[in-house]
Structures are given as structure tokens and as C-alpha cells.
Structure 1
């Protein structure tokens, strides 16, 4: 099983496979899962989980949260693998169709809402002040850092920036050639604006 940074989310010609949730849906599902975990009101929690279920159902996927020694992992399975809430091992033909995202990250998961809000503000400011292609890259980087590392965009390490540039961006955000050519400049803007909004 792999997370959405893997090749399982796209075909050889660069398009997402028909039955795989697109990156925007996966990011929203991760957001809803985190918010459900943090909700103090039962009705609010149920609303987040219901929206999560509906989003994935549109793509014939179902969510599960797996607990491990290192934290919790959100796993999204094709619906046909699951019967009465249990994954049927004999139905799994290609494990790469599963999508996994760590909910623990390397930042503080308890601060996730604040981190995600900050990262979104950075991306919005870049989009407003610098336009495209920087805005699109900033929004993709905001999703990546919030959902995978629970960290502010300006706190990204060099290896995290490289992972985003080499794996997440081309495989999940379907960037234009102009966007790919400008990614280094875009990430410099992210760091600069992120620092200014602290």
C-alpha cells in the first residue's frame, strides 16, 4: 500500500486513474479526518465523518484509520475490497490502489488546524500578490505540508521540499510546464511570505 505520493494515483500518461480519488479529494478527506479527531461536539464529528464518507463513496472508496506504534494512519480502500467493514484479503489484486496518509506527521498534530490555516493564508497571499503559476504551487505545497507533516510551510526541510518537488507536485497536482519551471521560485516565495505572516 502506498500514499498518494506514489505512482498509483496516475496512469502512464500522467492522468489520474478513473477509480482513484484525485489529490484534491484525498487532501479534503485528510482534513475532515483530522477535524473529526479534534471535534469536541458529537454532531460536529459526525458531520465531518459523513462528508468524508460521501466524498470517497463518489470514487468507490472507503476510509479506515489504522493505529500503529508510531501513530495513526488514514487508509483509503477500494470499496470492492471491503465487506461489512472488513477488508477481504482475497479480493485484493493490486495493493497500490490503496491510499495511505499518516495522521501523526512530524509536527504537533494538536496544532494541525492552526498550521493548516496559516499555510492556506500563505498560499492565498501568494496567489493574490504574485498570480500564477506561483499561486497553484503554493496551494499544493500548503496541502502537502499540512497533511503530511503538520508543519508550517516555511518550516519545511530541504528533504521535504525535494519530496514535494520530485514526487507530490508532478504526481498529484498535474502542474503545467510553466509551473514546474518556476517551482524553485515559488517555494522561495512560500518561505518568504510564510515568515512574514508568523
Structure 2
């Protein structure tokens, strides 16, 4: 556990569920993700709110809230809360630099391994860039999981050939930066 009272895997899952709720195609789906997040957090006597002014997910102890309002006098130790920025950091220049970096990696995979792998890699870097403004080598295991389970099947429109090799494509992309795919065992 970190200095806050939540296990790191609970924090990661709460963030993942929040992002899924934001990207849900209908209100019922969004509500289901939000309810799942609340159930998960309630097991630890925590709750979540979105701080709108800076678009941050705040996970904090239930005891801080009375009648839906955070009671400042109940906050003894602010380190117990977890704050997770939901918006991409930085400005357009940051996005452009990340996009240029990631596009060069996709190009290197295309040159070495062909268009099927390149299409999968392009889908992954689009996901990373548009949702997190993140370079390939900075991707997390949770982001890879969201890409493979949610984004890829719904938004990449992969061919059967692409779908059959997507995990290998990610390995090739991460190899281009000298890394393993986060949270995934290396395929033989």
C-alpha cells in the first residue's frame, strides 16, 4: 500500500472504470462502470468524485463526506486521498511531440514487419496519444489492457489478420523502444 489507504490495484481499477464510463456509448453502460467503481471503493470505505475545475478523479475516505458534501473539518490527513488527472497533460505541442515520436516507431515496425503489424501499432499509438498523450515506452499495463479489451475491438476495426497478431504487433512496437509490453508475458 502507498501512503493512502487504498491498494494500488484498486486505484488502477477505479481509474480504468472512470475512463470506461467516460468513453461509454450509452448512459446505462456508463452507469454500470460508475456503480462498479463505487462498489469497489466502498469495500475500502472510500468514494470517488470528479473535481471538475481541473478534471481530476479524487478517491477519498467516506468519512470525509456528509450529505453529499465534503466536510473540511473531517479531513485529518489529506495524504489519504488519491488524485488522478483524467485529462491529458500539457498542451498541443506536447501532443505533437508524442505523436511524432510514436509515429516514427510505427514506421519502423511497418518497414521491418509489414502493414498488418503497422496497422495494429498505429491503432495503439492513436489510443495512447488521444487518451493519455503518452509515448509508447511510458504506457502502463492498465492502458495496454484497456486498449486490448475495450478500444481495439470497438474502435480499430481490425481485419481478421490484424486481430490474430495484435499481441505480437505490440511486442514488436515495444521492442522498437527496447522494452517488453507492460503487464504481458513475452510470447514465444
Bigger RCO of structures 1 and 2 (CA < 8 A, at least 6 apart): 1
Question: 4+ runs of 1 displaced by more than 6 Å?
Answer: none
Alignment counterpart, residue 64 of structure 1, candidates 45, 49, 66: 49
TM-score normalised by L of structure 2: 0.50
**Residue 83 of structure 2 aligns with which residue?**
100
Structure 1's 107 and 78: CA in aligned 2 closer, same or farther, altered over 3 A?
same
Deviation at 1:54, TM superposition (A): 0.4
- 1:64 partner SS: strand
Give runs of aligned pairs for residues 37-116 of structure 1, distance below 5 A. Answer: 37-68=22-53, 71-106=54-89
What is the CA–CA distance in structure 2 between the aligned matches of 1:72 and 1:52, rounded to whole Å?
Answer: 17
Deviation at 1:149, TM superposition (A): 4.6
**Residue 35 of structure 1 aligns with which residue?**
20
Gaps (5+ residues) in structure 2?
92-127, 140-173, 182-188
- 2:58 partner SS: strand
- 2:34 partner SS: helix
Q: Are residue 8 (structure 1) and residue 38 (structure 2) matched?
A: no
Structure 1's 93 and 38: CA in aligned 2 closer, same or farther, altered over 3 A?
same
Report if aligned partners of 1:73, 1:104 keep a CA contact under 8 Å in 2: yes
Deviation at 1:150, TM superposition (A): 4.9
Deviation at 1:189, TM superposition (A): 5.9
Aligned residues: 109
Structure 1's 25 and 83: CA in aligned 2 closer, same or farther, altered over 3 A?
same
What is the CA–CA distance in structure 2 between the aligned matches of 1:101 and 1:81, rounded to whole Å?
Answer: 18
TM-score normalised by L of structure 1: 0.48
- Once superposed, what is the RMSD of the aligned Cα atoms? 3.2
Gaps (5+ residues) in structure 1?
10-19, 109-144, 158-187
Deviation at 1:37, TM superposition (A): 1.0
What is the CA–CA distance in structure 2 between the aligned matches of 1:8 and 1:67, rounded to whole Å?
Answer: 25
Q: Which has the larger radius of gyration?
A: 2
What is the CA–CA distance in structure 2 between the aligned matches of 1:63 and 1:28, rounded to whole Å?
Answer: 12
Deviation at 1:107, TM superposition (A): 7.8
What is the CA–CA distance in structure 2 between the aligned matches of 1:47 and 1:65, rounded to whole Å?
Answer: 17
Deviation at 1:190, TM superposition (A): 8.6
- 1:100 partner SS: strand
